[in-house]
């Protein structure tokens, strides 16, 4: 019987290079003629043999149905159990066959989404990206703490990512400990497991600010009609982002506001180090008035930061940005596009009218010191 998924253990930098090249081509492809794959139950063996003690690798979750080259089950290393056979892919591994990228941090359990599990793939994307781009990681109950001292104002880059159910007291204690050790300007946590509503409610009773984010998904293709947006170098969007952040953080005192805006714009280049990022804009008279970002990680793409300047709203610019992003996702071979939207804000309904469906929800929780 063919397993529901295969996995391939890889260095994050090698995966990012494969996203640009279109396929994973490890040295074994040239030397032995195949790419080493594993079933989920086997992967600990090559991990121990090839990467002993490593906790900074990722697992590529591969859909067997998307492979066009033959897979043969053959013996692995001589010291592996005698009856064990490993799947060997006799050809390069296309990035479009990779439905999720999951951090491999033994002994923490690994959750591998099925190819048809939109919520599982979305959660894998939204937790894997911050872990892979983090400067530092620390184990906490139910998940990890991601840290980046270069961007202390960014709650996204300095927070707990909790993927397994824990109670509110545990989240609060872990956040306090990490914040004290790391010198965080805030305490922040992402509650990234389905059904975290009760924990979020308890954190709110304890004085935390909580926000529910709906996870939305749609297949690629069928982009809405509209005027075309253009792809630009990310630097061309910096001024637009800075203006938006200044408006959002207007209550901050002057020097703190300047530092926060600089960091929130400056952090964005980190995403392209781990996934393939494309920035899309619409201009009026040469000035960027709408923008959005597409992030591609194998067969899964995410939409982020779709914004329109207040003076240019009502002219279809966001539709143009979204249409171009969806076209780019289709061209990249993705079959699923995901995003997060505030549960109590209007954009979720805007996305709903454009083919996105709610598949689940997560929570953000923040407490100022």
Could you give the angle at the alpha carbon of 166 between the alpha carbons of 164 and 170, nearest 5°? Answer: 135
Return the pLDDT at 83.
57
DSSP letters along 187-229, please? EEEEE-STT-HHHHHHHHHTT-EEEEEEEEEEES--PPP-PPP
Return the pLDDT at 113. 97
Q: What angle do CA 317, 321, 326 make, to 5 degrees?
A: 145
CA distance 153 to 112: 32
Q: What percent of the chain has pLDDT over 90?
A: 83
Residues 117-174 pLDDT 10s: 999 999 999 999 999 999 999 999 999 999 999 999 999 999 999 999 999 999 999 9
**Whether residue 230 has pLDDT greater than 70:** yes
Q: Is 230 helix (H, G, I), strand (E, B) or coil?
A: strand
- Please tell me whether the overall predicted TM-score, pTM, comes out greater than 0.85 for this model: yes
For every residue of 274-301, DSSP letters joined together read: TSEEEEEEEEETTEEEEEEEEEEETTEE
Cβ–Cβ under 8 Å, residues 10 and 60? yes
Separation CA 215–CA 145 (nearest Å): 22
CATH for 221-334, among 2.40.128.50, 3.40.50.620, 3.40.630.30, 3.30.470.30? 3.40.630.30
pLDDT in tens, 288-338: 999 999 999 999 999 998 999 999 999 999 999 999 999 999 999 999 999
Per-domain residue ranges for the chain?
A: 6-106, 117-216+355-369, 221-334
Helix axes 197-205, 168-182, angle to 10 degrees: 60
Give dist(CA 147, CA 137) in Å, integer: 6
Q: Are 307 and 292 in contact (CB under 8 A)?
A: yes
CATH number of 6-106: 3.20.170.20
Q: Report the SS3 class of residue 129.
A: helix
Close Cβ partners of 169 (under 8 Å, ≥ 6 residues apart): none
């Amino acid at each position: 019987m063919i397993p529901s998924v295969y996995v391939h253990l890889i260095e994050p930098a090698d995966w990012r290079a494969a996203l640009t090249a279109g396929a994973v081509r490890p040295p074994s492809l040239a030397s032995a003629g195949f790419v080493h794959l594993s079933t989920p139950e086997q992967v600990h063996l090559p991990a121990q043999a090839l990467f002993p003690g490593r906790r900074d690798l990722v697992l590529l979750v591969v859909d067997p149905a998307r492979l066009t080259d033959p897979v043969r089950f053959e013996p692995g290393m001589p010291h592996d159990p005698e009856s064990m056979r490993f799947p060997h892919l006799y050809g390069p591994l296309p990035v479009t066959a990779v439905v999720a990228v999951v951090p491999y941090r033994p002994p923490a359990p690994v959750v591998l989404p099925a190819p048809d599990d939109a919520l599982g793939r979305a959660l894998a994307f939204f937790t894997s990206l911050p872990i892979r781009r983090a400067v530092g990681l620390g184990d906490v109950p139910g998940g990890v703490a991601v840290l980046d001292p270069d961007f202390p104002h960014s709650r996204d880059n300095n927070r707990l990512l909790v993927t397994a159910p824990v109670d509110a007291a545990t989240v609060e204690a872990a956040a306090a400990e990490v914040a004290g050790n790391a010198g965080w300007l805030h305490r922040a946590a992402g509650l990234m497991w389905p059904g975290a509503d009760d924990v979020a409610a308890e954190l709110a009773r304890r004085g935390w600010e909580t926000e529910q984010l709906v996870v939305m998904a749609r297949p690629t293709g069928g982009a809405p009609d509209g005027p075309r947006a253009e792809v630009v170098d990310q630097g061309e969007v910096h001024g637009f982002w800075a203006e938006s952040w200044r408006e959002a953080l207007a209550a901050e005192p002057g020097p703190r506001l300047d530092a926060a805006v600089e960091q929130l714009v400056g952090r964005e280049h980190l995403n392209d180090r781990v996934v393939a990022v494309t920035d899309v804009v619409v201009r009026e008279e040469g000035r960027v008035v709408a923008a959005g970002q597409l992030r591609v990680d194998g067969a899964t793409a995410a939409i982020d930061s779709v914004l329109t300047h207040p003076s240019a709203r009502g002219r279809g610019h966001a539709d143009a940005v979204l249409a171009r992003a969806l076209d780019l996702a289709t061209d990249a071979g993705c079959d699923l596009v995901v995003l997060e939207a505030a549960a109590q804000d209007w954009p979720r309904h805007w996305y709903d009218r454009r083919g996105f469906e709610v598949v689940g929800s997560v929570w953000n929780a923040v407490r100022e010191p």
